[in-house]
Amino acid sequence: MQFLLKHSFKLAIGSLVVLMGIYLYLTYGGSESTPKLPNMQAAPEFTLQDAVNGGDVNFSDSNGKVRLIYFYWANCPDVCPPTTQLMSQVQDKLIADKKFGSDVELMSITFDPVRDTPEAIKKYSEKFHADYTGWKFLRGDEKYTADLIPQFKGMMLFKDEKTNEFSHLDLLILVDRDGNVRKYIDGAHEETMSADSIMKDIESVM
């Protein structure tokens, strides 16, 4: 009893350190440089065509894997090619870590299916040496895709009916194994749009 009374302050401090360690582990996943990301919303279910391999793809079929989703169009004059190139870099890192396809899947969804035919998409994706075993290029009816995009609450899409040109937010959407959106990675912020940064985000929801 005397020992407890004599060392009670030290024991209390020690207990606080342990509790703080548990808190940091639960909050940061064991690493202060890789914070846990909040659940933002449930990702919407969808069914689209696999433009390269054929057949329908249901989003929920990939539950159990982390998903990185990008809405694009192959004729995009500015942001889509560099962001798709970034996804290619992430693909290579995932392959090196032996997580590509098995633990993490990439999805590129066109919102311009009239021009983005399966042939055009295959030609586009080959520029980025896409590995189709874990990177799906999807397409569907233009209205279906246009209706799908706002269901991801961080996304916006505008079409000029006169020119058939699109304006859209340059966002990568990170979805966890359970189908929850955990982050919208904004292309306007260079510090978050690097392969290393995206890999940290992926690891935080593994």
* Per-chain mean pLDDT for the chain: 83
DSSP-assigned beta bridge partners for residue 57? 48
Q: How many C-beta atoms lie closer than 10 Å to residue 50's C-beta?
A: 16
The residue with greater pLDDT, 10 or 189, is 189
**pLDDT band at residue 26, thresholds of 50, 70 and 90?**
very low
Q: Which residues of 93-108 are buried (b: 16+ CB within 10 A; e: fewer)?
A: bbeeeebbbebbbbbb
The better pLDDT of the pair 67, 161 is held by 67
pTM: 0.80
Contacts of 11 (CB under 8 A, 6+ apart): 4
| pLDDT at residue 189, as a whole number | 62
Q: What is the DSSP letter of 175?
A: E
Q: Are the C-beta atoms of 193 and 185 separated by less than 8 Å?
A: yes
Residue 192's pLDDT band (cuts 50, 70, 90): low
The tokens 């940290």 sit on which residue? 200
Q: Which of 44, 46, 70 is closest to 151 using CA atoms?
A: 44
Alpha helices in the chain (DSSP H): 2-6, 8-28, 80-96, 118-126, 142-148, 195-204
What is the tens place of the pLDDT at every residue in 101-113?
999 999 999 999 9
Confidence of residue 164 (pLDDT cuts 50, 70, 90): confident
128 — phi, psi (to 5°)? -110, 20
Output the pLDDT for position 167.
Answer: 77
pLDDT digits (tens, 9 = 90+) for 120-146: 999 999 999 999 999 999 999 999 999
Average pLDDT of the segment spanning 137-165: 86
pLDDT of residue 193: 77
Which residue would you say has higher pLDDT here, 90 or 2? 90
